[in-house]
Amino acid sequence: MIIKSMSRKKATFAQLIDYISAGATSERFTFRHNTYTQNTDGIKREFVENARLLRQRKNGVFLYHEILSIKRNPRLTLEEQQAKLAEIVRLYIEARAPRQLAFGMMHNDHPEHLHFHLVISSNSVGSQERERLSKKQFSDIQTHLERYVLERYAELNQQAVFRDNLTPEQREAQKQKARVSQKGAELKRRTGKTPARDQVKETIEQIFSHSRTPQDFTESMNKAGFTLYQRGQYAGIEQDGKKYRFATLGLAEHWVRFDAKMRESMKPQNTPQSDAESVQVHPETSQRTQQNTAQDTPTERVEKPVIVEQVAETFDSLKEEVQHLSGFHEVEQERERRLKEMRAKREQQAKHQNSDEDSHTHRQR
């Protein structure tokens, strides 16, 4: 969930309310707070009359234009998400501007997000003084609201933005990302060139995004000149002899999610498979794979990456097949040796038999 706040130092209530009304797809989720009229013309007059009470001050703020945005979830209907966002807006205004005028409407013109636009008066109803929130107060309101949304509306599947709501793993990834970005910015400022690390990160993110199967991943990695590696609890890629850990690139969580997606794509389908399509895994290989789990970050245990598993299992299968073929070759050699011995015995027996027959014929004569 994202909250944007923009202040205006001119009393442009009518302009902003018209903009909000024109972009709304429906009046069903119209939000009114501390107003006594329902139509937009009446609401405009209330805002203007209330603003006239303000003490004149240079660069004084008259109103706030604020936007609450949530990421769309394809598992929920549009109406369900709109209703939940409207409820979140109500809770936000009660905490952020309980005594001020507020008006807002829902916009759904973005395919990936839902937005709620708000206009909020700078002063409470009937007051000459402007209501002012310190940065800490405003941040606390947003942080507490985000935490409430993550817990109360978990089905919306929103991502935490504020540090206090991040998991330890997310904080570590954020720290790594900031460290990489800072070094890159310094290098770009000195040389005017984009750091190689940033280019690698961007390419890896694209590969994660576009790969649907392990085969897609392998082809994209080969095309980019990358080689996947895993050393103990760390995983990463190697390019031209230089290694980049996913954790160092700020992609630790991306890698964990991608590996889970690859595992999901490899699950057997309901349709029957032929003997040629089925793959037999040696029991020792399966047991070893289950025991050898690895970590991508020091604080989180993750399963051994599916790509690494595939390579290990393929190697073991080939090794077993080679051993099997070697054994078969030895058996075949032994069989040929025994056939030769049997042929030699038969030939020798035939010679003795012919010799006895010749002797018997000679005695009869």
- pLDDT for 286 equals 44
Same-domain check for residues 97 and 39: yes
Could you give the CA distance from residue 255 to residue 234 in angstroms, rounded to a whole number? 11
Residue 128 is assigned to a structural domain of this protein? yes
Residue 332 is assigned to a structural domain of this protein? no
Residue 63 is assigned to a structural domain of this protein? yes
CB 44 within 8 A of CB 101: no
Same-domain check for residues 36 and 160: yes
For 134-193, how does the pLDDT look when each residue is reduced to its tens digit (9 = 90+)? 999 999 999 999 999 999 999 999 988 888 888 888 777 767 666 655 655 665 566 655
Could you give the CA distance from residue 217 to residue 167 in angstroms, rounded to a whole number? 28
Same-domain check for residues 143 and 176: no
Predicted TM-score (pTM) above 0.85: no
Same-domain check for residues 160 and 176: no
- pLDDT for 245 equals 86
Same-domain check for residues 226 and 160: no
Domain count, the chain: 2
Same-domain check for residues 75 and 222: no
Could you give the CA distance from residue 46 to residue 101 in angstroms, rounded to a whole number? 8
Same-domain check for residues 66 and 215: no
Residue 356 is assigned to a structural domain of this protein? no
Instruction: Pick 360 or 117 by higher pLDDT.
Output: 117
Residue 354 is assigned to a structural domain of this protein? no
Of the chain, the percentage scoring pLDDT greater than 90 comes to: 39
For 292-310, how does the pLDDT look when each residue is reduced to its tens digit (9 = 90+)? 444 444 444 444 455 555 5
Same-domain check for residues 210 and 265: yes
Same-domain check for residues 180 and 135: no
For 89-140, how does the pLDDT look when each residue is reduced to its tens digit (9 = 90+)? 999 999 999 999 999 999 998 888 999 999 999 999 999 999 999 999 999 9
For 278-288, how does the pLDDT look when each residue is reduced to its tens digit (9 = 90+)? 344 444 444 44
Could you give the CA distance from residue 136 to residue 70 in angstroms, rounded to a whole number? 23
- pLDDT for 182 equals 62
By CB neighbour count within 10 A (0-12 exposed, 13-18 middle, 19+ buried), where does 297 fall?
Answer: buried
Same-domain check for residues 27 and 152: yes
What does the buried/exposed string (b/e) look like for 21-56 if buried means 16 or more CB atoms within 10 Å of the residue's CB?
A: eeebeeeebbbebbbeeeebeebbebbeebbeebee
- Which CATH number does the domain housing residue 59 bear? 3.30.930.30
Lowest model confidence (mean pLDDT) among 7-21, 228-242, 273-287, 337-351: 273-287
Domain holding 103, by residue range, is: 2-165
For 37-52, how does the pLDDT look when each residue is reduced to its tens digit (9 = 90+)? 999 999 999 999 999 9
Same-domain check for residues 117 and 6: yes
Could you give the CA distance from residue 104 to residue 100 in angstroms, rounded to a whole number? 13
Residue 64 is assigned to a structural domain of this protein? yes
Q: Copy the structure tokens of residue 350.
A: 């035939």
Could you give the CA distance from residue 308 to residue 311 in angstroms, rounded to a whole number? 5
Angle at 305 between CA 302 and CA 311, to 5 degrees: 150
Residue 258 is assigned to a structural domain of this protein? yes
Could you give the CA distance from residue 172 to residue 298 in angstroms, rounded to a whole number? 10
Domain boundary residue, one of 253, 279, 301: 301
Half-sphere exposure (Cβ direction) of 97: Cα atoms closer than 13 Å:
26
Domain boundary residue, one of 301, 321, 352: 301
